[in-house]
Structures are given as structure tokens and as C-alpha cells.
Amino acid sequence: MRVRVPVHNPGMSDQNTDGNSPPKTLLLVDGSSYLYRAFHAMPDLRAVPGDPASAATGAIRGMVNMMERLRKDVRADYAACIFDARGPTFRDAIYPEYKQNRSPMPDDLRAQITTGKLKPNAKLPTEGELSDKFEASRNTVREAIRRLTDEGLLESRPGQGTFVATKVDPFVTVLTADPKTGFGGGETAAYASKVREEHRVPTSSVPRVEVVTASDAVASLLSIPPETQVVSRSQNRYIDDIPWSAQTSFYLMDFITKGATKLLMALDIEEGSVRYLDSEIGVRQTGYRDWLTGRLATEEEQAFFGIGHNAAVFVDSRVAFDQNNTPMRLTVTIFPVDRNQLIVNVGPNVPMLADNDNAGRKK
């Protein structure tokens, strides 16, 4: 808001005031509105780039940019930025019914989704239509949509709008090795077999194969010198055509020179890489270690899995060891938490997970 006001200089006497002094311009900025707009417009920027645990800086950076642009576009003698006070304000004292007739938008919209009034894949009205319906500001509408998206109830489709999310039935992965086969849950063959047992359809993308320089993290887990070249094989995995996980495996280049050339082919290894390496070059997997961490999804993962910018993922870094207890493979799997559950069994006599137990955990 820009206001033009006459300014009285206390140093001047009334006799010298002719009333013709040019009015001064006072610029008032709705700081709360600007901060909301910046929050929703900016990506998930962090104080330490790429570190989701560091302080978020996107909203502050966006607001500073907007204020600098405003200062250039609007000439003003004075400026003030005003923010809403926490809790009740003078408005509540003047008018006790202030906002009382407005619907609690997130709760009301959430109820429409959970009760089935809004069906899965239904397109949400525009921000303007929701603003009119709930007698709420655009910022309130955006905040409600963001919150419900983070809860997995809504999903944004670029170029199409916001839709009610399709509820997914979580898939349970037992990370412990099968005592009969020695294969761990999450391995391609074991994963596909388990999915089919639940009468669901597993599919995977064509492997993307690259020869890359190992990052410090990869080199450390494989116990190889930094900047050593390794073979990288990446695949996206789906259940019932829904993106479920993303997996990348790193293999030593030494395996290629010994004859395991299938690792360089952009094709599925039908017998699985574990059996292939054993039969082809005598490298036998005898165990593995899973290192589980959690973090916020990257922008690329958000786009692939169709999850919100505050959504979390499990990261399973599995290091496989050969008969000499030497690291032979690193497999990193990204599991979105909204559609995956992970189990670790300890001890030789742990019973199989019964179907009714499985269903109970999914609720």
C-alpha cells in the first residue's frame, strides 16, 4: 500500500508553513503476505546446499528479492513492513466474531477427501474458487494445499493442477536375508517374487549403465581409493505402474576385466547379479550390511515419485561382501516412506510374517 501524506516539520513555525509543501510517500508492505508468497514460490533452499538438516532459507531469500524489487519499482520517502502479531489482535477486541464464520479450510477439505466426497484423482477447484468457497485468502488456500500435499492427500501435476491423491497400499520389504536363498529383501529377484506373491505387478525400467568416478561416500563404503572408476547400474522400480523405489548399484571395474562383461550391458541380468558374478568369475556373496538413513526427498525424487517437497524417504545403502569379506557391491535404494515399510528379523527362529500381521501394520 502506498500512502501520500503531508509532513509537518517540527523545526518550522506555523507562520512559515504555507501548506504547499509536496506530500511525502509512505510505503506499507504486508510482510506476512510477502513471506507466504515467497515460501510457496521458492524451492527448498538450505543454509548448507544439499543438506536437508540445515536451516531453510528459501522464504527469507525470496522475500528479500521481492522487497528489493519493490524498492526499485516504487519510489517512496518512507517505508514500513508489517507482520501479523501472534495470537489475538485488536481486531478480535473490536469485532469478536472476526473470522468465526470462516471454515477451517484444511480440516474441512481433509474431511471431504477422507470421507470419499472428493474421489481419488478428482481435480481440485482453482485457488480463486477455493478462496471464495471458504472465504479465505489465497495465502490460506496455498498453505492448506501445501499441508494436505505433505500429508499425501493431494498431489500436484505440472501443467494440470492439483488432484486428490490415489491411496497406495504400502509394500513391506524384509531386509533380512532369506535363509534358504541367501538373498536379501530388496534384491531385484527377491523383490519381484515377493510382489507377485501379493498378486501385484512388478516392473522395472531398462538399466541405465555408466562408468563413473566413485564419490567419497561410495569409495568409503566399497573400501576403494577415492576417484576410482566403478560401474553404475540404475533402475526405477514400479508396483502396479506406480513408482515404488529407485535403485543404483556400484560394481568394481576389476570385475569387468575378469570377464563379468554383462555388467556393462543395458539389459536385465536374468539370473541376478549375485549368481552371475559367482558363476562367471567366482566372486561369491556371503553376506551384506544394510545402512539405513532417512532424509527429505530431492527435487528429482519428488518429481519421479509424485511426492511433496517436505516428503521423506528411506535410504538403504547395502554393502555386499564376498568370500574374503571384501566389499564387492554397493546398492543404494530410495524408498518413499508413504508406500514402503521395512522389516529386519533377528535370530534363527523368527516366524514368517503372517498375512494378517502384514495387513495390520499397513493400516
Taking the C-alpha atoms of residue 75 and residue 62, their distance in angstroms, rounded to an integer, is: 21
Candidate CATH numbers 3.50.30.30, 3.40.1410.10, 3.20.20.70, 3.40.50.1370; the one for domain 171-362:
3.40.1410.10
Between 173 and 221, the higher pLDDT residue: 221
pTM: 0.61
Given a cut of 50, whether residue 15 has pLDDT beyond it is no
Q: Which residue has the cell 513471506?
A: 35
Residue 140 pLDDT: 80
CB-based burial, 20-46: b 16+ in 10 Å, e otherwise: eeeeeebbebeeeebbbbbbbebeeeb
Return the closest-CA partner of residue 307 out of 172, 200, 165.
Answer: 165
Query: CA torsion angle for 150, 151, 156, 162 (degrees, to 10)?
Result: -130
pLDDT, average across residues 171-180: 78
Residue 19 is given by DSSP the state S
**What residues have CB less than 8 Å from 140, skipping those under 6 apart?**
105, 131, 134
Residue 183 pLDDT: 63
Residue 96 pLDDT: 66
**What string of H, E and C letters represents the secondary structure of 219-243?**
HHHHCCCCCCEEEEEEEEEEECCEE
Residues 213, 228: contact at Cβ < 8 Å?
A: yes
Residue 333 pLDDT: 95
H helices of 115-209, where? Answer: 127-134, 138-150, 188-197
When pLDDT is cut at 50, 70 and 90, the band that residue 354 belongs to is low
Angle at the Cα of 83 from the Cα atoms of 162 and 48, rounded to 5 degrees: 65
Domain boundaries in the chain? 2-82, 102-164, 171-362
Exposed / middle / buried, residue 15 (Cβ in 10 Å: 0-12, 13-18, 19+): exposed
Return the closest-CA partner of residue 234 out of 221, 258, 218.
Answer: 218
Residues 102-164, CATH architecture? Orthogonal Bundle (1.10)
Angle at the Cα of 32 from the Cα atoms of 30 and 34, rounded to 5 degrees: 70
Quick: pLDDT tens for 90-123: 776 776 665 555 546 667 777 887 788 888 888 8
Given a cut of 80, whether residue 2 has pLDDT beyond it is no
Taking the C-alpha atoms of residue 308 and residue 271, their distance in angstroms, rounded to an integer, is: 37
- Amino acid present at 15: Q
Mean per-residue pLDDT of the chain: 81
Supply 112's cell numbers.
Answer: 471431504
Quick: pLDDT tens for 25-40: 898 998 877 877 777 6
Given a cut of 60, whether residue 154 has pLDDT beyond it is yes
**What residues have CB less than 8 Å from 189, skipping those under 6 apart?**
183, 272
Q: How far is CA 271 from CA 210, 235, 274, in A?
A: 21, 16, 8
The reply to whether 171-362 shares the fold of 102-164 is: no
**What residues have CB less than 8 Å from 194, skipping those under 6 apart?**
173, 174, 185
Exposed / middle / buried, residue 348 (Cβ in 10 Å: 0-12, 13-18, 19+): exposed
**What residues have CB less than 8 Å from 37, skipping those under 6 apart?**
62, 66, 139
Taking the C-alpha atoms of residue 354 and residue 357, their distance in angstroms, rounded to an integer, is: 5
Residues 26, 74: contact at Cβ < 8 Å?
A: no
Q: Which residue has the cell 498453505?
A: 143
CA 187 to chain centre: 24
Residue 323 pLDDT: 95
Taking the C-alpha atoms of residue 147 and residue 142, their distance in angstroms, rounded to an integer, is: 9
- Amino acid present at 305: F
Quick: pLDDT tens for 232-253: 999 999 998 889 999 999 999 9
Quick: pLDDT tens for 181-203: 656 666 666 677 788 888 889 89
